[in-house]
Amino acid sequence: MEHLLKVDQLKVNFNTYGGEVKAVRDVSFHVDQGEIVAIVGESGSGKSVTVQSIMGLIPSPPGMIKGGSIQFEGKDLLTLSKRQMRKIKGSKIGMIFQDPMTSLNPTMKVGKQIAEALITHRNFSKANAKNKAVEMLKLVGIPNPEARFQQYPHEYSGGMRQRAMIAIALACSPDLLIADEPTTALDVTIQAQVLELMKELQKKMNTAIILITHDLGVVAETAQRVLVMYGGVVVESASVMELFENPRHPYTWGLLQSIPDTDTSEKKRLVPIAGSPPDLFSPPKGCPFAPRCKYAMDICLEEMPTDYDISDGHTAKCWLNDERAPHPETFARLGETENA
């Protein structure tokens, strides 16, 4: 089956005072119709840059797409003109941003901000767009939508603003919704509500979703497949079930250990991942995670690992999956004897 979205070998750089930053390095993945794919990683891992490239939102300069392709419904978005891109943005691909407090225009009525996309893409009349916008507000669970239509963003609470953002993104029933950390800025109870809403709407409208998050708990609850990014690279990619049961990259192990487990009553210490994220000004020659990795081998510092196929749809970019590598459990012992 043809994928809805297929990103292949995407490379994005940023020019800064300090030099060229390689924010995204050879990222490849795909999203199918109606599927929820999560991208997980810490800040600076390149996940936001990846999805902003899909939307053509990378500011240029300083940003630059250095290579790769983004196939959406059979067209390479990177080769489209601005005008052709505009027909897709907001119409076939919708986007929700991280910070609902600053993502809405403060001096425009919320209703009008929803109606705008409808007037642009669907040629709605003002009256029709208004009706549809009110309907959208109702759909995303905003009470008293007629009155809310006339209000400005500052009269909305944070959770309601994110609902309004969802209404804007979904107004034209897009095939793909990109949600860039949609719940990070919200209170925990509101987070759950917004996620629930997204899942519900996704079922109703059969929209595919790319969900960016740094919270594996969110991933477990919503997504079918997951990509783990680190240092601008996809280090592991698998179905959610597979990733939680059989993670094959030390960074993923680290992430899984640092989820607070509320289900078990036993007291487990949270294990943080030691060290700090890589300096993307001069990314290490080998695996970006190697300097922080408990299981680093000499080769990890020298050469970027290849993608190892673990099972169908599960790949991991780690030398430990090579047959020449020692088993991780023997590692500590090995290190001592070898280096003693």
**Distances from the Cα of 143 to the Cαs of 86, 118, 146, 173, 314, in angstroms?**
32, 21, 9, 21, 43
Q: Using the minimum distance from each CB to other proteins, give the nearer residue, 17 or 245.
A: 17
Q: Does 17 bind other proteins (CB under 8 A)?
A: yes
Q: How far apart (Å, rounded) are the C-alpha atoms in residues 143 and 81? A: 40
Ordered strands of the 5-16 beta sheet:
19-31, 5-16, 63-72, 75-76
Please name the residue that has the structure tokens 């780690």: 318
Q: How far is the CB of 273 from other proteins (least distance, A)?
A: 10
* Angle at alpha carbon of residue 304, lines to 298 and 310, rounded to 5°: 100
Residue 208, both tokens: 């595919």
Q: Does 90 bind other proteins (CB under 8 A)?
A: yes
Q: Does 43 bind other proteins (CB under 8 A)?
A: no
Q: How far apart (Å, rounded) are the C-alpha atoms in residues 73 and 14? A: 28
Q: Does 99 bind other proteins (CB under 8 A)?
A: yes
Q: Using the minimum distance from each CB to other proteins, give the nearer residue, 6 or 92.
A: 92
Residues 6+ apart with CB under 8 A from 11: 22, 24, 25, 26, 27, 65, 66, 67, 68
Binding residue (CB under 8 A) for other proteins from 43, 276, 306, 311: 276
Binding mask 158-197 for other proteins (x = CB under 8 A): -------x--xx----------------------------
Q: Does 250 bind other proteins (CB under 8 A)?
A: no
Classify 30 as helix, strand or coil.
strand
Q: Does 87 bind other proteins (CB under 8 A)?
A: yes
**Contact (Cβ atoms closer than 8 angstroms) between residue 232 and residue 57:** no
Q: Does 302 bind other proteins (CB under 8 A)?
A: yes
Q: Does 318 bind other proteins (CB under 8 A)?
A: no
Q: Does 123 bind other proteins (CB under 8 A)?
A: no
Residue 12, both tokens: 């994005």
Binding residue (CB under 8 A) for other proteins from 20, 32, 42, 116: 116
Q: How many positions of this chain bind other proteins (CB under 8 A)?
A: 64
Q: How far is the CB of 96 from other proteins (least distance, A)?
A: 9
Q: Does 145 bind other proteins (CB under 8 A)?
A: no
Burial of 259 (0-12, 13-18, 19+ CB in 10 A): middle
Interface residues toward other proteins, by CB under 8 A:
16-18, 55, 57, 62, 82, 85-91, 94-95, 97, 99, 102-108, 113, 116-117, 120-121, 152, 154, 165, 168-169, 274-276, 279, 281-282, 290-292, 295-302, 319, 322, 324-327, 330-331, 334-335, 338-339
